[in-house]
A and B are shown apart, each in its own frame.
Chain A
């Protein structure tokens, strides 16, 4: 078990080092997400009366679509030079590869959220200290990364992988997106724990389902 964790970390560290060198994912994703925020803030205005209705949707559109761009690169980088075959030749269970890649996807998406969220809060004149929002972001990002990593491995072998990933990914993560938007809306209006808890529970349940199912199906996806 310990060895598996070490290998997961080794794969994660390799992805991180590669990203630090190339900045392929983080720069493109950040620019895209920032553009979404700026365009929406101009379209709706930052002084809208019902921020809790509009603002959560804007934040999650930026994070979701920015995340899709990043997820597209997760396995694209392994496709070049047939690096995925090199990984698959290593003496580890396929699930270890999945979790290593998931750790990378989750970290990159979380890094995106850490940069984008304060800008979003500032643009819409919202309070900066919202610990519940941090929890919502972590849970939703985990769900996105769990499904996105699996579908990225699936889409990378298709000709139209840039189109294929959002087509596969978005319908499956809809429950998490809805829960994240609703829970964020509740946080922004200072709602009670009761208002939020249902949405948080939905995200936790879907995260677990996504991770278990993706772990089971990953071998099938990469070997066939």
Chain B
């Protein structure tokens, strides 16, 4: 590892001057972001702020129009395949195939990640999300909450050191949302770097070590969670985004 790479690797994720345009529309306007190892960064922002676009770029799904992203000191443009082994993404979409069983879905993704002793690993992650009894059921027959838990099992199957969570509770009823929250709590306590986007201020504050507010493609506020109370943050959020909660 060169001196530069070693210095940069102090950050788990480091984004510099990220910009993304879709035609005339500028979704990201120069984002600088640093996330330490095993830190949980929660990004808040109204709809259209650029949260999903940012996570797509960080997770190598989309190329930025300008700027750079380093994961563990490595530029994602240089070694995207290598980076993908270290990261995972959970969104409100499950990425699972409805007509395959939970087991078949996990086996498919496990083979794509070259996981050794795959069946044992599948049993571990399925036990973690408490889906053992539904392992051989087709995903399409599961409730939305159970599907999301299966999606989390998929996401941690290859034991990623960085996890991106893009509004994972969207579209879930309160009971399903509570189940997913339990699993998210476990993720938070594990030794992983987590970057999460959410609209849920209370939930985000509960999980995050640090927080950021994104508005119209810019990071307009950053702070450590320790510096804030929930009431203060609600006020700050309203002030920076011009929205009420």
Cross-chain contact of B93 among A6, A7, A11, A82 (Cβ < 8 A): A82
B93-124, CB < 8 A from A: 93-100, 104, 108-109, 111-114
Q: Which of A7, A22, A80, A91 has the most CB of B within 10 A?
A: A91
Closest to A23 in B: B99
Interface assignment of B91: CB less than 8 Å from any CB of chain A:
yes
Q: Are A18 and B81 in contact (CB under 8 A)?
A: no
Contact B88–A89 (Cβ < 8 Å):
yes
Number of A interface residues in the complex (CB < 8 A): 26
Task: Name B83's closest neighbour in chain A (CB-CB).
Answer: A91
Q: Given the complex, which residues of B lie within 8 Å of A14, measured CB to CB?
A: 97, 100, 108
B81/A92 in contact, CB under 8 A: yes
Q: Which residues of A contact B97 (CB under 8 A)?
A: 14, 18, 77, 81, 83
- Specify which of B62, B98, B112, B138 is in contact with A91 (CB 8 Å cutoff): B112
What number of B residues sit within 8 Å (CB to CB) of A?
A: 31
A25 to B75, CA, bound (A): 40
Instruction: Give per-residue flags for A89-125: 1 if the beta carbon is below 8 A from chain B beta carbons, else 0.
Output: 1111100000000000000000000000000000000
Q: What residue in chain B is nearest A7 (Cβ atoms)?
A: B112
Across the A-B interface, how many residue pairs have beta carbons closer than 8 Å? 74
A18 to B138, CA, bound (A): 11
Inter-chain contact A91/B100, CB cutoff 8 Å: no
When the two chains form their complex, are residues A18 and B100 in contact, meaning their CB atoms are under 8 A apart?
Answer: yes
Q: Report the bound CA distance from A100 to B81 in whole Å.
A: 17
Q: Is A10 engaged at the interface, CB distance under 8 Å to the other chain?
A: yes
Kindly list chain A residues whose C-beta atoms are within 8 Å of the C-beta of B104: 17
Is residue A49 within 8 Å, beta carbon to beta carbon, of the partner chain? no
Q: Render A3-33 as a binary contact track against B, CB cut-off 8 A, 1 for contact.
A: 1001100110010011001100000000000
CB pair B61–A81 under 8 Å, yes or no, is: no
| CA A71 to CA B94, docked complex, whole Å | 24
Q: A18-B100, A83-B95 are in contact. Are A91 and B113 (CB under 8 A)?
A: yes
How far, in whole Å, are A3 and B114 apart by their CA atoms in the complex?
9
Q: A10-B108, A89-B61, A91-B85 are in contact. Are A21 and B99 (CB under 8 A)?
A: yes
- B59 → A minimal CB distance (Å): 6
- Which chain A residues numbered 117 to 160 have a C-beta less than 8 Å away from chain B? none
Give A68-94 interface residues, CB cut-off 8 Å to B: 77, 80-83, 85-93
Give a binary string over B51-65; 1 marks a CB under 8 Å from any A CB, 0 the rest. 000001001111100
> Please, which residues of chain A bring their CB within 8 A of the CB of B108?
10, 14
As a 0/1 sequence over residues 210 to 224 of chain A, the CB contacts with chain B under 8 angstroms (1 = contact) are 000000000000011
Known: A90-B84, A223-B63, A224-B63. A85 touches B93 (CB 8 A): yes
Q: Which of B62, B98, B114 contacts A223 (CB 8 A)?
A: B62
Known: A7-B112, A10-B108, A81-B95. A89 touches B89 (CB 8 A): yes
A18-B100, A22-B99, A81-B94 are contacts. A86–B85 as well, Cβ < 8 Å? no
Contact yes or no, B96 A83, CB < 8 A:
yes
Contacts of A82 in B (CB 8 A): 91, 93, 95
- Bound: A101/B91 CA distance, A: 24
Residues of A contacting B94 in the complex (Cβ-Cβ under 8 angstroms): 81
Is B87 on the interface with A (CB-CB < 8 A)? yes
Which chain B positions have C-beta within 8 A of A88? 60-61
Q: Mark B62-77, 1 if CB is under 8 A from A, else 0.
A: 1100000000000000
- Given A77-B97, A80-B98, A91-B112, 18 more contacts at CB 8 Å? A7-B111, A10-B112, A18-B100, A21-B99, A21-B100, A81-B94, A81-B95, A81-B97, A83-B95, A85-B91, A85-B95, A86-B96, A86-B154, A88-B60, A89-B89, A90-B84, A92-B112, A93-B81
List 12 contacting pairs A-B, 8 Å CB cutoff, sorted by A. A7-B111, A10-B111, A11-B112, A14-B97, A82-B91, A85-B93, A86-B96, A87-B112, A89-B88, A89-B89, A91-B114, A93-B81
Closest 10 CB pairs between A and B?
Answer: A86-B95, A82-B93, A90-B112, A91-B84, A21-B99, A91-B85, A10-B111, A14-B108, A91-B81, A22-B99
